[in-house]
Structures are given as C-alpha cells and as structure tokens.
Amino acid sequence: MVERRLLAELPAAPARILDVGCGNGEMTLRLAAAGYRVTGVDPAATMLAAAADRLAARPELADRVQLVNAGLDSLSLDGKPFDGVCCHGVLMYLDDPGEAVVRLAGLVAPGGLLSILAKNSRAVGVREALAGDSETACRLIVSQADRSVGNLGRETRGDDPDALDRLAAEHGLSPQPWQGVRIFHDHFDDTWAPDPAAYAAALELEWAASSRSPYRDLGHLVHTLARRPGRSRS
C-alpha cells in the first residue's frame, strides 16, 4: 500500500531517497529495486545489520544503497537535500513529532516528497474493541487517548494526520491527500491464509478505502505526504 503510493508520487528514478528509521531495510530495498538511489538510516546497529544482510543477498542493488548507523538527531549528511524523504514507523516512538518533522522537512529538495507513516491517533481503541477488550477500548475512546499498547507490548503514540499536514505546511511543504493504512486486514486473526486471488482482493479493498472517509480514519496507521514546491532535479 505505502510502496504503491510512493512510486506514484516520488520523482522518477534514479532520484535520491532518504529512508529514516529504515529498520531491516524492507522499504530501502524495495525502492532500490525500483531504480532509486537510497540512503537507509537507523540508530539500531542490530537492525542495520539485518538490512546489510538483506542487501548482501541482493548484490544487484549494492551500487544504489548506502546504509548509515545514525538517528535523525545525529544524522550528518553531505548537505545535499533528497528528492524523497521517508520516515516510516518512527514518530510513534517520539514524545512529540514537531522537532522531527522540522528536521525531515529541511532534508527535502525542491519538487521532492516527504513521506511519513505514523500511528493513527484517531483509531486508538479500535483494535482493542474489535479484539473484545471493551473495557480498555472504552477507556481509550472516552479519554481521547493518543497512546495505546501495540502488538509488541510497547506503548506507542499516535498522530492526527491533519496535525502532521499542518506541521509540514508550516515548514514550506504542500500537503497531499493522506491515506489510512491497515484499515481492515489489521483485524484479521492469525489463521487468515488467503489464496492469491483473495489476497489481491483484500489489497484492492484496502486501497479503495485508504483515501475515503470514514474508512481511512479507522486505519491503524496514517500515511501523509507533503511536497516541497519547485522543480525536481530528477
């Protein structure tokens, strides 16, 4: 879902992409496979090692990928902005997204795109309700909580997509329509094992709902995009 939107919105390959919080390199390698030159950054040495292992298994991508062990606050680059900056699954671990969005926006070149994948504060309590934990769901919904405990047992913070769009706009970017992610299939149980046709249908359902309210408001995650005005160098 996220990759599909990115490939439709990013400047054409071989544009330069920065993947902040790249983890095990999943999106870094996907973008490199699409022809982009990608710098993957992560503060966790273990995650970056996993990304390096995956890259080693794809030698045809080696000349398009650079991996850097650093966090957003300690990131030191060559000063050149990027045609695309991705920050996926990072803001939920920060107390406040403001400083991070300022830093990210400053790394986007004219015509370039900022892509943020964050936990959706509007949907906090939905997962608990559909799992049958009505007491917790009610508490989260009534209190308008922006935090909840995820599948890994760690409390994470959600962001409102409109607030992320405002932050981007305040720092020179033009917000694009946001999408909800993991709207329906996030609630399927572990026994769900669709055949290829059923899986494709589920993906198309998610895609159709992702840009339409009220469905997109129920996504476990939100994908916001913002573009810096100007002409891309690509």
**What is residue 94's predicted lDDT score, i.e. its pLDDT?**
94
pLDDT tens digits, one per residue of 141-183:
999 999 999 777 889 999 999 999 999 999 999 999 999 999 9
Q: How many CB atoms lie within 10 A of CB 115?
A: 25
Q: At CA 18, angle to CA 16 and CA 23, rounded to 5?
A: 140
Give the Cα separation of 141 and 129 in Å (integer). Answer: 10
In the chain, list all ranges with CATH 3.40.50.150: 2-120+158-227
**What is residue 234's predicted lDDT score, i.e. its pLDDT?**
58
pTM above 0.75, yes or no: yes
Which ranges of the chain have pLDDT less than 70? 233-234
Superfamily of structural domain 2-120+158-227 = Vaccinia Virus protein VP39 (3.40.50.150)
Rg (CA), the chain: 18
Is 17 exposed, middle or buried, given 0-12, 13-18 or 19+ CB atoms closer than 10 A? buried
**What is residue 233's predicted lDDT score, i.e. its pLDDT?**
65
Give the Cα separation of 113 and 153 in Å (integer). Answer: 32
**What is residue 186's predicted lDDT score, i.e. its pLDDT?**
86
Contact of 64 with 93, CB cutoff 8 Å: no
